[in-house]
Chain A
Amino acid sequence: MKVKRLLSIGLVAALLVGALALTGCGAAEDGSGEAGDGSELSGTIDIQGSDTLLNVATAWSEGFMDANPGVDISVQGGGSGTGIAALINGTVDFANASREIKDEEREALEAQGGTVVEHRVAIDGIAVIVNPANGVADLTLEQLGRIYRGEITNWKDVGGADAEIVLLSRDSSSGTYEYFKEAVVAADDENAEYAASAKLLPSNQAIVEEVVGNEAAIGYVGLGYLSDDVQVVAIDGVEASIETAADGSYPISRYLYMYSDGEPEGVMAAYLEWILGSEGQQLVADEGFVPLP
Chain B
Amino acid sequence: MAIVILAAIALFLVYNAGRALTEVGLGTMLSGIQWYPTSDPGKFGMLPLVLGSLLVTGVALAVGVPVGVGAAVFISEFAGRRLKEVMKSVIEFMAAVPSVVYGLIGVAVLIPLVKDVFDLSSGLTALAGGIVLGVMSVPTIVSISEDALHAVPDDLRHGSAALGNTRWQTTFKVTLPSASSGIFAAVMLGLGRAIGETMAVLMLTGNAAVMPTSLFDSVRTMTGTIAAEMGEVVQGGLHYSVLFTVGLVLFAITFGINLAADLVLERQRKRWRR
Contact = CB atoms under 8 A, between A and B. Distances in A.
Contact of B237 (A3, A104, A216): A104
Interface stretch (B31-39, B147-155, B254-262): B31-39
Contacts of B206: 199-201
B115 A173 contact: no
Q: Which size class do A's interface residues fall under? A: 35 or more
Given A82-B231, A105-B234, A174-B232, A199 B39 contact: no
A163 B121 CA distance: 8
Interface stretch (A62-70, A73-81, A256-264, A282-290): A73-81
B111 A200 contact: no
Interface of A: 3-4, 7, 25, 51, 77-82, 84-85, 88, 99, 102, 104-105, 108, 163-164, 166, 171-175, 177-178, 181, 191, 193-194, 196-202, 206, 209-210, 213-214, 216-217
The secondary structure that dominates the B interface is: loop
Contacts of A201: 124, 206-207
A88 B121 CA distance: 45
A82 B235 contact: yes
17 contacts: A4-B96, A80-B232, A85-B236, A105-B234, A166-B121, A166-B122, A172-B37, A172-B228, A173-B228, A173-B231, A191-B39, A194-B36, A198-B208, A199-B218, A202-B207, A210-B124, A214-B123
Contacts of B107: 206, 209
Contacts of B123: 213-214
Nearest to A163: B121
Given A163-B121, A213-B112, 18 more contacts: A3-B93, A4-B92, A77-B231, A79-B232, A81-B235, A85-B234, A166-B121, A171-B228, A172-B228, A173-B228, A174-B232, A177-B38, A196-B208, A202-B203, A206-B107, A214-B121, A216-B121, A216-B122
